[in-house]
Amino acid sequence: MDAQFNPDKQHTLKQAVSISGTGLHTGIMVDMTLRPANPGYGFQFQRIDLAGMPLIKADCDLVTDTSRGTTLEDNGARVSTVEHILAALVGMGVDNCLIEVNGPEIP
């Protein structure tokens, strides 16, 4: 870990928050819950609708498509249109968050 890393300077959510909505490109109704996470966790998406509830790290190396939003994929699990929720979290100063979704796209 970087010598400059200071977990005391990182921020997360005070409590979980949930919303539901329709995916812009898929039209599928999706539930999303944002959960607090420990320092150093970063942003990770969890597909709770898939077997094993796989985690997909918000990492530019996992971007597989940018034609209609940003799609992340890891070991066959994918989540699309992640850019808006990530921008909102960063804009609010959040550094660590687990983003649970029960569908293929952020609502």
Q: DSSP readout, 51-96? A: TT--EEE--GGGEEE-BTB-EEEETTEEEE--HHHHHHHHHTT---
Residue 50 CA to residue 13 CA, distance in Å, equals 25
Please report, in tens digits, the pLDDT of each residue of the chain (107 residues total): 455 656 578 999 999 999 999 999 899 999 999 999 999 999 999 999 999 999 999 999 999 999 989 999 999 999 999 999 999 999 888 999 999 999 999 99
For the chain, list the domains and their CATH numbers: 14-101 (3.30.230.20)
pTM score: 0.90
